[in-house]
Amino acid sequence: MNIKKVSAGIQAWFEERLGLSAILDFMKEKEVPQNKHTIWSYTGSLILLFFGIQVVTGIMLAFFYKPTLELANKSIGRIMTEVPLGWIIRSVHFWSATFMIAIVFVHLLSIWIIKSYRRPRELTWMSGVFLLVLSLAFGFTGYLLPWDDLSLAATKVGTDIPRSIPWVGVLATKFLRGGDDISGDTLSRFFTFHVCILPLCILAVLCLHVYFIQKQGMSLPLGAEEKGEGRRALPFWPNFIWRETIVWLVFSGLLITVAVFLPPSLGKAADLMAPAPSGIKPEWYFLFLFQTLKIFPPKILFVNGDTIAVLVIFAGVLLFFLLPMIDDKPEERKGKIITLCAYLFMIYAVAMSIWSLLD
Amino acid sequence: MMKTGKTCLLIMVIFVALGYCLSDHGLAQQTAPPAKAKEAQAKPQPDKVVAAPQNIRESSRIYVFVGWMWVSIAVLIYFLRLKIQEADRLYAARFFSPDRK
């Protein structure tokens, strides 16, 4: 039988059922604007790459991980010492999370500075902020799973933060912990969030985010039309995809190299009765928030300092979420001040993180 | 272009096959026998478990793999750059443009 005929037959069979040619036609017609900010377009797909790596390595780890007080730490220890290449799978999972969150920050900051959230892309930005919050929630819930001294103490501090919120704070802390204090219920709760609830949420928001991007197309930077940069574009398929493949290859290589040479270690199993170890620090992406909470005095005008700090952080997140609505005149003075705020935020986050590390 | 494509495919197949041979099938099997697991449970727990290759054989394999990976990436980037140049040339010549037909 002719191979070409068979392959054409298989292709026709799938085409009739799935209509894949429509997707290919869409990809061929889709164009990516070419300008000095095009480099930032690669960050979106890189996030997807690292998310995919985390899903795969996370499933591999879940084959061996046991979310109980007695076995959580031991099972991670077993993954690292007995399972063939288990330590490297854990390391890739750990580092891909770090890379992903770093690139999510870069992606959002670049959009903030280029002002790609301008009308009609407000929903794309909002879904992106949701994805950032979900990524941070992944990091927070995953941090407890090794169940060592440091992860227990950091989770105690982290779950205690919502307590300062008026009216709903105590309930939120109880909900996160599955009781008044951290226990085995907290561990199984965090595990369920980490492997079931958050992946479902992130998939749903990711689908929406990608849909919004496809619907609205990729935006041009502010003022690009006037500079004549509006007409320059590259076809998504194959010109942009080949370029994107190079970026994926380089970052995959970097991830594996870092994972091999800097694997995370595992502390001894957490003891619920033991006092908290000194120098508790959260993961790097929470450091600036952690330090922000620390700089507030215990009392400000008869109000608890923690409450004010948490409310200030919440207000900041809300402003960040509503940025496209606030920055409604990007070309004007207000828009320029908002761009300046992006740079100030970056300086603040880096300075606070360094302060927290040195503290 | 066709010739470059075939060469690229052949090199990729060779590298993938080489990588598979070196990989020792990754996480496919759990090798610890039950007796060994019991023995490990009885041992006092160390203060810190450091992640590292378990023996010299594994560590050499890992380092060879990292080296091989970067060589493969360099080769693939070389071929991808050729592909990009070709795709850009065809796009500049409006090869796939409907008004060219």
Q: Does domain A34-219+231-271 have CATH number 3.40.50.1000?
A: no
Domain borders along chain A are: 34-219+231-271
**Residues of chain A neighbouring B46 (CB-CB closer than 8 A):** 268
Nearest to A266 among B49, B54, B73 (CB): B49
- In angstroms, the separation between the Cα of residue B57 and the nearest Cα of chain A is 12
CA distances from A49 to A42, A249, A273, B22 (A): 11, 10, 41, 24
- What distance in Å separates residue B31's CA from the closest CA in chain A? 7
Do B91 and A257 count as a contact with CB atoms less than 8 A apart?
A: no
* Residue from B27, B58, B88 to probe the interface with A (highest A Cβ count within 10 Å): B27
Residue A327 token pair: 């920055």
Both tokens assigned to B11: 């090199």
Tokens found for residue B62: 């890992």
pLDDT value, residue A306: 86
- Cite the DSSP H helix spans in chain A: 3-18, 20-29, 41-62, 72-81, 86-114, 122-144, 149-160, 169-177, 184-192, 198-216, 241-261, 287-295, 305-321, 323-326, 333-358
Cross-chain CB nearest to B69 (options A74, A242, A256): A256
Q: Which ipTM value was assigned to this complex?
A: 0.81
Per-block mean pLDDT, blocks of 10 residues, chain A (359 long) = 87 89 83 84 93 96 94 94 91 96 94 89 94 95 92 90 88 92 93 96 95 87 68 83 95 96 91 80 90 87 86 93 90 89 95 92
pLDDT score, position A94: 96
Cα angle, residue A288 at apex, residues A37 and B51 outer, rounded to 5°: 90
Q: How many interface pairs between A and B have CB atoms less than 8 angstroms apart?
A: 99
Long-range contacts of A286-289 (CB under 8 A, 24+ apart): A286/A136, A286/A139, A286/A140, A286/A158, A287/A352, A287/A353, A287/A356, A287/A357, A288/A348, A288/A349, A288/A350, A288/A352, A288/A353, A288/A356, A289/A313
Chain B residues with CB-CB distance to A89 below 8 A? 27
State if pTM tops 0.80: yes
Interface residue of A42, A80, A242 to substitute, partner B, most B CBs within 10 Å: A242
